[in-house]
């Protein structure tokens, strides 16, 4: 992966990077829609701002930077580190009054997440890297999967299917299960639980011939060329094995595939991308999946940001938890769009682990305030890593929703 040379960049008189004309053409109005409104309602719902209290890390600052760069007051080198401080949870976009529908004459959705992605990609194009993100991207490119086990433990090839040992799952077929890198290597009990539940529902499925990373973290941290290679490989694999339906346990994979893959392939509509959560909720609803083993615990639920704020999925996990026998479910203190973030999104934890730790610590503390709760359930493997670490420190056990349901269905997790 080579850095862009100074001669290939648009620079000011001191050789520092400026915004290319095509970048300004695409994002200038988006930035001004935020900057000119003058409000800062998004600040207090931003999980990073809640812990750093640094104005440079606010969604309004991300937009104001673009305005300042257009006027020559700042350069890319000045602001590149600011854009690391974002989990892409989407809370700012939901809170922004510019996003609200005000009659038929004014409809606008603030696009802070897209601006952050664009600025990160522009930084990479100009040879401005965050050390750990660059290393993460290089290893993902080399191995095909993210280095979720650390810098030295390879995550590649047949190892991505190691979680399925003993389940005798076929390769390919009309439906495949797409287990994300974090779950496949770091928390294999999650895809094993999903696989056993899908079988119990009577759903026939296989695994990819060679699954690579969905590419999401590469899109989110600016390494777009690597993301494209990941996506193109996966779509080629699906076509090679006759796959038409892809079931995603992880909302990060789902949102990456449905948002980014179509722009790379005119024939993408031949694929159906499905959330495993929806499949399991439907199977419980129509009686194809039976839960017979009581789980005597009192738990609350963590709404993963991409599932809830970005996709609007919050009812299905609650429906599932209320179907588990013996389980006492205390609903969360903040629900739907105002739910708390885990701090794990957009690889923040790779570059700024201390910030992720503070965000997840605050989330666990909020769960502990609920009466009688001794467990926190999530539906996102990425959130479960920092939440589990902070939960261990505060005496709160963290489960994945599929692990819990598989246990209630009588499977060994």
Summarised one tens digit per residue, pLDDT across range 110-124 is 789 999 999 999 999
In the predicted model, is pLDDT for residue 23 greater than 60? yes
Q: How far, in Å, CA of 75 to CA of 12, rounded?
A: 8
Which domain range does residue 109 map to? Answer: 6-128
| Residue 322 and residue 276 share a domain | no
**CA neighbours closer than 13 Å in the CB half-sphere of residue 95:** 19
- Determine, yes or no, domain membership for 102: yes
- Determine, yes or no, domain membership for 13: yes
In the predicted model, is pLDDT for residue 3 greater than 60? no
| Residue 158 and residue 115 share a domain | no
User: Average pLDDT, stretch 63-72?
Assistant: 90
For residue 132, CA distances in Å to 66, 129, 139, 221 come to: 25, 9, 11, 11
pLDDT band at 96 (very low <50, low <70, confident <90, very high): confident
Q: Could you tell me what percentage of the chain is helix, strand and coil, using 3-state DSSP and rounding each to the nearest 5?
A: 55, 10, 40
* Single pTM value for the model: 0.91
| Residue 98 and residue 210 share a domain | no
Considering only CA atoms, give the Rg of the chain: 22
Strand partners, 275: 248
- φ/ψ bin of 223: left (φ > 0), alpha (ψ from -120 to 50), beta (otherwise): beta
DSSP states along 143-190: HBS--TT-SSS--BGGGGGGGGTTS-PPB-SSEEE---HIIIII-THH
In the predicted model, is pLDDT for residue 297 greater than 50? yes
Strand partners, 156: 144
| Residue 186 and residue 123 share a domain | no
In the predicted model, is pLDDT for residue 4 greater than 50? no
DSSP code for 352: -
Q: How far, in Å, CA of 39 to CA of 305, rounded?
A: 23
DSSP code for 248: E
Q: How far, in Å, CA of 60 to CA of 24, rounded?
A: 17
DSSP code for 268: G
In the predicted model, is pLDDT for residue 30 greater than 90? no
Share of the chain above pLDDT 70, in %: 91
The predicted pLDDT at position 94 comes to: 83
| Residue 313 and residue 181 share a domain | no
Judging by DSSP bridges, how do beta strands 272-275 and 245-248 pair with one another?
parallel
| Residue 31 and residue 15 share a domain | yes
Contact 385, 350 (CB under 8 A): no
How is residue 342 written in tokens?
Answer: 């885990």
For residue 105, CA distances in Å to 17, 94, 101, 102, 108 come to: 38, 19, 9, 7, 10
In the predicted model, is pLDDT for residue 255 greater than 80? yes
For residue 283, CA distances in Å to 198, 228, 291, 311 come to: 9, 34, 11, 21
The predicted pLDDT at position 36 comes to: 73
Which CATH number goes with the domain that contains 234?
1.20.1050
pLDDT band at 14 (very low <50, low <70, confident <90, very high): low
pLDDT band at 98 (very low <50, low <70, confident <90, very high): low
Identify which of 390, 306, 360, 387 has the alpha carbon closest to the alpha carbon of residue 51.
360
pLDDT band at 214 (very low <50, low <70, confident <90, very high): very high
What is the number of structural domains in the chain? 3
- Determine, yes or no, domain membership for 96: yes
In the predicted model, is pLDDT for residue 7 greater than 80? no
The predicted pLDDT at position 28 comes to: 86
Q: How far, in Å, CA of 215 to CA of 296, rounded?
A: 39
- Determine, yes or no, domain membership for 93: yes
> Hey, is 243 helix, strand or coil?
coil
Contact 197, 289 (CB under 8 A): yes
The predicted pLDDT at position 128 comes to: 95
The predicted pLDDT at position 372 comes to: 94
Boundary residue ending a domain (95, 128, 161): 128
Q: Where are the beta strands (DSSP E) in 249-340?
A: 272-275, 298-301, 328-329
Boundary residue ending a domain (128, 146, 174): 128
| Residue 325 and residue 278 share a domain | no
The predicted pLDDT at position 273 comes to: 98
Mean per-residue pLDDT of the chain = 91
- Determine, yes or no, domain membership for 335: yes
| Residue 274 and residue 152 share a domain | yes
Q: How far, in Å, CA of 380 to CA of 385, rounded?
A: 9
> Hey, is 302 helix, strand or coil?
coil
Judging by DSSP bridges, how do beta strands 272-275 and 298-301 pair with one another?
unpaired
Strand partners, 300: 376
Q: How far, in Å, CA of 252 to CA of 244, rounded?
A: 20
| Residue 25 and residue 81 share a domain | yes
| Residue 275 and residue 193 share a domain | yes
The predicted pLDDT at position 2 comes to: 36
Boundary residue ending a domain (77, 104, 128): 128
| Residue 77 and residue 30 share a domain | yes
| Residue 205 and residue 179 share a domain | yes
């Amino acid at each position: 992966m080579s850095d862009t040379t100074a001669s290939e960049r648009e620079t000011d008189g001191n050789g520092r990077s400026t915004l290319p004309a095509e970048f300004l053409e695409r994002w200038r109005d988006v930035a001004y829609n935020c900057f000119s409104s003058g409000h800062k309602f998004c600040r207090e719902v931003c999980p990073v701002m809640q812990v750093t209290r640094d104005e440079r890390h606010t969604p309004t600052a991300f937009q104001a930077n673009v305005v300042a760069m257009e006027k020559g007051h700042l350069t890319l080198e000045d602001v590149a580190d600011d854009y690391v401080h974002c989990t892409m949870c989407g809370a700012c976009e939901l809170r922004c009054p510019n996003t609200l529908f005000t009659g038929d004459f004014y409809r606008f959705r603030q696009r802070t997440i897209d601006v952050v992605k664009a600025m990160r990609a522009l930084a990479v194009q100009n040879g401005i890297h965050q050390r750990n993100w660059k290393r993460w991207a290089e290893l993902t490119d080399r191995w095909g999967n993210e280095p979720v086990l650390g810098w030295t433990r390879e995550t590649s090839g047949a190892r991505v299917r190691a979680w399925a040992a003993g389940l005798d799952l076929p390769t390919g077929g009309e439906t495949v299960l797409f287990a994300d890198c974090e779950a496949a290597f770091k928390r294999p009990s999650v895809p094993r639980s999903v696989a056993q539940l899908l079988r119990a529902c009577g759903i026939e499925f296989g695994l990819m011939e060679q699954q690579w990373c969905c590419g999401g973290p590469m899109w989110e941290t600016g390494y777009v060329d690597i993301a494209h290679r990941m996506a193109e490989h996966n779509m080629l694999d699906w076509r090679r094995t006759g796959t038409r339906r892809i079931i995603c346990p992880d909302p990060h994979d789902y949102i990456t595939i449905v948002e980014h893959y179509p722009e790379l392939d005119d024939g993408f509509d031949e694929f159906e991308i499905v959330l495993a959560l929806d499949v399991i909720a439907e199977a419980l609803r129509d009686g194809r999946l039976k839960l017979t083993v009581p789980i005597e615990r009192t738990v609350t639920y963590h709404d993963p940001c991409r599932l809830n704020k970005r996709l609007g999925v919050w009812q299905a996990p609650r429906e599932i938890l209320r179907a588990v026998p013996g389980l006492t479910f205390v609903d969360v203190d903040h629900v739907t769009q105002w739910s708390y973030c885990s701090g794990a999104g957009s690889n923040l934890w790779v570059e700024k682990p201390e910030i992720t730790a503070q965000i997840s610590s605050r989330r666990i503390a909020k769960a502990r305030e609920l009466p009688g709760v001794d467990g926190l359930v999530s539906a996102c493997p990425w959130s479960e890593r920092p939440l589990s670490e902070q939960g261990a420190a505060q005496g709160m056990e963290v489960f994945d929703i599929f692990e819990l349901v598989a246990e209630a269905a009588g499977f060994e997790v």
